[in-house]
Chain A
Amino acid sequence: MHQVIVKLNMPEIRTAQPVLSIKDLRTYFHTADGIARAVDGVDYHVYPGETLGVVGESGCGKSVSALSILRLIAIPPGEIVSGKIQFENQNLLDLPMSKMREIRGNRISMIFQEPMSSLNPVFTIGYQLSKVFTLHQKLTQKEANQKSIEILAACEISSPERIMKTYPHELSGGMRQRAMISMALGCNPDVLIADEPTTALDVTIQAQIMDLILRLKDNFGMAMILITHDLGIVAKSAQRVVVMYAGEKVEETGVDRLFEKPSHPYTIALMKSLPVLGRKEKYLEEIKGVVPAPYREIAGCKFADRCSEMTTACHEKRPQLKEIETGHLVACIHR
């Protein structure tokens, strides 16, 4: 474990132990095409009160790593081959499912990308939300309803009593996501995993919801793992960032440093390929090629074929993470 000291906006969390850390996690899927190594040896950790951004493109394993934390991977075809998920002196991967259910939604909870498909369409918001309290806090239905209304109000839903009686399809995307957030925050979890929480929403609604999540996170004093493909959202919300590519962590550092001095060729290329408002160039700098298929066996660096700094050495051995600066890890042999 590297005890990283990074320049953070919130100084009080510097010395603390991570609240959650995953170590050498490997989650594979057995598919008809072979073994898809969705997460292939990933480490990350999050400190109390901190926001860790996990960035990458689709298929890089960012969501699968989060689902593995909560053990929500369907087995089969999935399999958590190895690794450790350390939460409060216990390895979550060793727990029986009954114990896992006590943690899920209670101590560690998750906000999913598409609120329409993660809420049950045949039950009212009130029914689904109050379940959190009757299950985890053993409240009576009446108390649970009261608490649900309070938490909906905390998520800035204007008439919570009415919303309790509605079904998911009656709400707008933004409102549904607020209901999801209420559900996730109901038990005041230690860690909140937000998996692309605003991707399905419109820009102005996205700004509202992101703002709400960050404020609530600070009020409740939670740690957050924010999974997103949007570097803009990470820049605004996270203190530390992990960049993933094809199932591996390729870079990790504090957010300011990541944007000032990105170091892995993939991170650099990704940042350059974004169209930025107010900076008009005729052509964007593109990353050639595509992400390698997850079942392809690659001995060397997985980014090598698309990399502008590629040499023959890149194809020989998987690059190890190197600490090029305190708290700044990069997996590239050229660094």
Chain B
Amino acid sequence: MNELLLDVKDLVKYFALKKTRLFQEQRYIYAVDGISFSLKKGESIGLVGESGCGKTTTGRTILRLTEPTSGVINFDGKDIAGLKERELKKFRRNAQMIFQDPFASLNPRMTVFDIVAEPLLVHRMGSTSNRKDRVAEVLGKVGIEPAYMKRFPHEFSGGQRQRIGIARVLTLNPQLIIADEPVSALDVSIQAQIINLLVKLQDEFHLSYLFISHDLAVVEHISDRVAIMYIGKIVEIAPSKNIYNEPQHPYTKALLSAIPIPNPKANEQRTILKGDIPNPANPPSGCAFRTRCPQCINICSKEVPPMIEIGPEHFAACHLLK
């Protein structure tokens, strides 16, 4: 568990905005603005934040589904950011992605077999007959009857479709799985099934997860460590029990208290943040959270707070923590 699998340093991704006037200055959306974290083999790390905070872009940039603007992505000792096409393909054999919407991420005109076998075709692995065996094997692993492999996605429920999406990811036996909101499109009772499946598969195949979600309760359940993002930056990263027990950053605290707890007797002390999430095309100066922070002080608008080590593996970026 101590071997480093993924090491991301100062990852930056800006999206250029379209110019609307001649001679207009180029403007950018600062989707991911210098984030660093690492992931060990067999570990799972959760990336939490609200919409527009850059969590999905982070996941996509690590797989180079979008090109990073700058930064280093070390995977098993190799820098992914500089890889050429052929090398990149090799890397992707080891790093796969599960998508949010199981209705949009499976081609409706392909059978389950075609969908799950496609990674093998792309990477020219296996012969026709052992592809079939492999597909049957992974479908069994995710709890889909292999006899159903001739069926089409529309014949399955949302939860089953997500299982098929997970089977597709497993065919190549990857080390790293980036799961982008894998359960948010599912109903509560199905959500637990998929979360349990992911936990089981992690044990069985010694997988590492980068688990992206807006739902802190789900992330806390599945992850060893949690990183909280706000407008392109990680504001706090810590072992998941610390995030819950001793949150340090004011945003983490607000996020925790905003989650409705399914218990009418739960303590009523809530911090309700004022205002909206700022536009990532025009983030506030200094600390991006200062416009909504209940504890904002003078320095917050002037300087970007550095990451401070609070305890073992626990870091937060806030001026108040000095």
Contact = CB atoms under 8 A, between A and B. Distances in A.
B8 to A, nearest CB: 24
Contacts of B261: 232, 235-236, 276-277
Nearest to B52: A202
B312 interface: no
Nearest to A282: B199
Given A204-B50, A204-B255, A277-B220, A236 B264 contact: yes
A2 interface: no
B204 interface: no
Interface stretch (B19-27, B56-64, B210-218): B210-218
Interface stretch (B106-114, B117-125, B270-278): B270-278
B229 to A, nearest CB: 12
A132 to B, nearest CB: 25
B192 interface: yes
Interface in B237-252: 240-241, 244-245
A270 B188 CA distance: 7
A202 B237 CA distance: 20
Interface in B257-309: 257-266, 270, 272-274, 276-277, 292
B221 A280 contact: yes
B218 to A, nearest CB: 5
Nearest to B244: A278
A255 B264 CA distance: 7
Interface residues of A, number: 46
A195 to B, nearest CB: 16
A270 B216 CA distance: 18
A175 interface: yes
A206, A208, A286, most chain B CB atoms within 10 A:
A286
Nearest 6 CB-CB pairings of A with B: A232-B260, A202-B50, A273-B192, A275-B221, A207-B258, A231-B262
Given A232-B259, A232-B262, A280-B220, 20 more contacts: A175-B276, A203-B214, A204-B50, A204-B254, A207-B260, A207-B273, A208-B274, A210-B260, A230-B260, A235-B264, A259-B262, A269-B189, A273-B188, A273-B189, A275-B195, A275-B218, A277-B259, A278-B220, A283-B196, A286-B196
Interface of B: 50-51, 157, 159-160, 187-193, 195-196, 199-200, 214, 216-218, 220-221, 240-241, 244-245, 254-266, 270, 272-274, 276-277, 292
14 contacts: A202-B50, A204-B50, A207-B258, A207-B272, A208-B274, A235-B260, A255-B264, A259-B262, A271-B262, A273-B188, A275-B192, A275-B221, A277-B256, A283-B199
